[in-house]
C-alpha cells in the first residue's frame, strides 16, 4: 500500500487506465474464444448486451438483438 501512496495521481491514473485496458482486452479475447467466427462489431454488441441487457442494447443498437452470438 505504501508503494501506491507514493505514486502521483497521474501515475495512479495511468496504471488504472492500463489495468482497465487489459481487462477489456481479456474480456474481448474471451468472447472471441467462445465465438471463433465473430467480428469486431459482434464482440462489441455481445459485450454491450452482457453489461446492459438486451433491451438497452437493442434500444441503442437495433442489430444487437439476442439472435446475435
Q: Which domain holds residue 65?
A: 23-69
Any domain includes 33: yes
Q: What is the pLDDT of residue 66?
A: 66
Where in the chain does DSSP place strands (E)? none
Q: What is the pLDDT of residue 26?
A: 98
Any domain includes 63: yes
Between CA 63 and CA 54 the distance in angstroms is 11
Domains of the chain: total: 1
Cα 69 to chain centroid distance, Å, stands at: 16
For the chain, list residues with pLDDT below 50.
68-69
Give, rounded to a whole angstrom, the gap between the first and last alpha carbons of the chain.
42
Any domain includes 17: no
pTM: 0.73
Any domain includes 7: no
Using alpha carbons only, how large is the chain's radius of gyration in Å? 17
C-alpha cell at 8: 502521483
Amino acid at each position: 500500500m505504501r508503494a501506491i501512496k507514493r505514486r502521483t495521481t497521474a501515475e495512479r491514473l495511468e496504471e488504472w487506465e492500463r489495468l482497465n485496458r487489459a481487462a477489456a482486452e481479456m474480456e474481448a479475447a474471451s468472447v472471441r474464444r467462445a465465438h471463433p467466427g465473430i467480428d469486431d462489431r459482434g464482440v462489441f454488441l455481445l459485450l454491450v448486451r452482457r453489461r446492459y441487457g438486451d433491451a438497452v442494447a437493442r434500444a441503442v443498437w437495433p442489430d444487437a438483438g439476442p439472435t446475435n452470438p
